[in-house]
Amino acid sequence: MCSAILWGIRHKHLAIKIYTILCIIWLIILVMAAISHISLRPTLEGIGGGVATVIILGLPPIAVIAYLKRREGKRLKEVGVDPYLLSAREKVIAMERYFRGETSVSWSPIITLAHDALLSALQRMVIDLKGSDGVSMIEQLRREKKLYLSTLSRILKDSDVISEREMMDLEILRDLRNRIVHEDYHPSKEQAQWALNLAKTFLKKHYPQLEI
């Protein structure tokens, strides 16, 4: 039940978020009513009646969210994750391997992987925002060699898809990655951990179906 509620709150569709929030409010009202009922009738019968009320009236709305979550997961398994999100998820997995000591001790690749993971995610977000026109926009930016985090994040910020804070974090990551590529900068483990956390938090918020 908790995983279904978290999935609903994090979902990118506003209707599902609103429905989940209303379900939470409804559950709170039911629990408060049950507590009030039990306090007035502190007997086994009163306790049983209060618990039964919460279960009978509270679980069906949550079951709807669980069903939607299960259906979306089934659809993703049938269709498969698209190349943009698959690339983002693979790069997060690769970053985590560094922290488990399965790869070299240099932290520079973590920054590059985080940058590339979010670049893939932002491309998908632009496509989600603009549909087929988004694909053409991505292709045009790639041909013009302007397919950057800053370009995509500005498009998404101007459309209120991402927040000012998210755009700022993306700019910090872009600058850190550029220092590594162009200035031979060697990041610390703490900077690498920040980049990993940024990528995971961003992807969890905007694409919870990846279950990173």
pLDDT of res. 74: 64
Contacts of 210 (CB under 8 A, 6+ apart): 81, 85, 88, 89, 203, 204
Q: How many CA atoms lie within 13 A of 53 on its CB side?
A: 19
Q: Say yes or no: 29 and 116 in one domain.
A: no
Domain end call among 53, 79, 105: 79
Asked whether the whole model's pTM tops 0.95, one would answer no
Residues in the chain predicted with pLDDT less than 50, given as ranges, are 79
Per-residue pLDDT tens digits for 24-38: 898 888 888 888 878
Same domain, 130 and 189: yes
The residue segments making up the domain with residue 22 are 2-79
Same domain, 119 and 180: yes
Tell whether 64 and 99 lie within a shared domain: no
Render the burial of 125-141: b for 16+ CB within 10 Å, e for the rest.
Answer: bbbeeeeeebeebbeeb
Do 75 and 17 sit in the same domain of this protein?
A: yes
Q: Are residues 106 and 173 in the same domain?
A: yes
One domain, residues 75 and 88: no
- How is residue 195 written in tokens? 């980049």
152 and 71 part of one domain: no
From 63, 79, 95, give the residue that closes a domain: 79
Domain count for the chain: 2
* 91-122: pLDDT as tens digits: 888 888 888 776 666 889 999 999 999 999 99
| Co-location of 107 and 59 in the same domain | no
Task: Quote the CA–CA distance of 181 and 194 in Å, as a whole number.
Answer: 18
Residues 33 and 54 in one domain: yes
- 33 and 102 share one domain: no
Whole-number pLDDT of residue 111 = 93
The verdict on 125 and 65 lying in the same domain is: no
Burial 154-189 (b: 16+ CB within 10 A, else e): ebbbeeebbeeebbebbeebbebbeebeeeeeebee
- Note the pLDDT of residue 71: 75
Question: Residue 76 has what pLDDT?
Answer: 55
Give the pLDDT score at 46.
Answer: 72
